[in-house]
Amino acid sequence: MGSDVRMFGEVAFEKGYISTAQLYEALQIQAQQEAENRPRKFLGEILVDLEYISEQQVLEILTELHGQRQKT
């Protein structure tokens, strides 16, 4: 049942907000921050910083993810 949980990037891609390349770019930035022991930003923050999605789209994704987790 836990395998049904989706990740932020997966939902953003499914909604057509970002491409696979944009998702991988953001994930690479996130991994680099972690490797350099810098504060790790959320994927949505990175995607907004890159101007790939809007803050409104982030809220839509988080609302969907939050609703999904409450159902389980």
Q: So what's the pLDDT on residue 5? A: 78
Q: So what's the pLDDT on residue 71? A: 53
Q: So what's the pLDDT on residue 40? A: 87
**Domain range spanning residue 21?**
2-71
Output the CA angle 3-22-41, nearest 5 degrees: 70
Does residue 72 register a pLDDT over 50?
A: no
Indicate the pTM of the whole model. Answer: 0.85
- Contact at 8 Å (CB) between 18 and 52? yes
Confidence of residue 69 (pLDDT cuts 50, 70, 90): low
> pLDDT (tens digit, 9 = 90+) per residue, 2-48?
557 789 999 999 999 999 999 999 999 999 999 999 998 999 999 99
Give the count of domains, the chain: 1
